[in-house]
Amino acid sequence: MLRVVIAEDSVLLREGLTRLLTDRGLEVVAGVGDGEALLTAVAGLAAGDGLPDVVVADVRMPPTHTDEGVRACVELRKRFPALGVLVLSQHVEQQYAAELLASSTRGVGYLLKDRVAEVREFVDAVRRVAEGGTALDPDVVQQLFSRSRRGDVLAGLTPREREVLALMAEGRSNAAIGKQLVVSDGAVEKHVSNIFAKLGLSQSSEDHRRVLAVLTYVNS
């Protein structure tokens, strides 16, 4: 059973998330209302029953309601690299998304709160992040993609390769990308291989190169 910590200052939303996740077989081991309490809760669990699998946290929490949540998540990733973190935001915050993804995209997610209403996709995102995958909201990816067009790093990619890379940034598998773009798995594999080559990513594990490709995309 995956163990989850929820950080959300709205008691109503926090309780709602707790019920939603527990009803689908996840264990919510702590619920807190600010960034400091989140840091304390995770550290306490790590020292006692064991590190939770994933944190689901609001970007903005008390006392200033600016970036306490995402900063707490960044700090937790430094302390506990194996911890999955999924942040929720009312609006796309490019700076916070890029900061969260700066070191690694493994076990990281950034979703708009509206996505919580799409229960199956939200729970799938929580599970994927807990298991070391990536879950980026399509709107977040679109804004980061628009931002990336100002740089030169991705200039050599074709429009189709950019589409594939954007879907990779959402955490999609090759099969899921092929289904989305209505192309064969072999075509997707060829595009991914071309992306790796054009971004100068040398031979290594497939997962490692996917992470590096997404990081290049986000930081460009």
Average pLDDT, the chain: 85
| pLDDT tens string 39-88 | 999 999 999 989 999 999 998 888 888 888 888 998 998 899 999 999 99
Q: How much is the pLDDT for 172?
A: 85
Distance CA 6, CA 27 (A): 11
Average pLDDT for 123-129: 94
Residue 85 CB coordination number (10 Å): 26
| pLDDT tens string 146-176 | 654 445 567 788 889 989 988 888 888 899 9
The DSSP code sequence of 41-79 is HHHHHHHTT---SEEEEESS-TTTTSSHHHHHHHHHHHH
Distance CA 203, CA 28 (A): 40
Q: How much is the pLDDT for 209?
A: 76
Q: In angstroms, what is the C-alpha Rg of the chain?
A: 17
- Look up tokens 């289904």; give the residue: 179
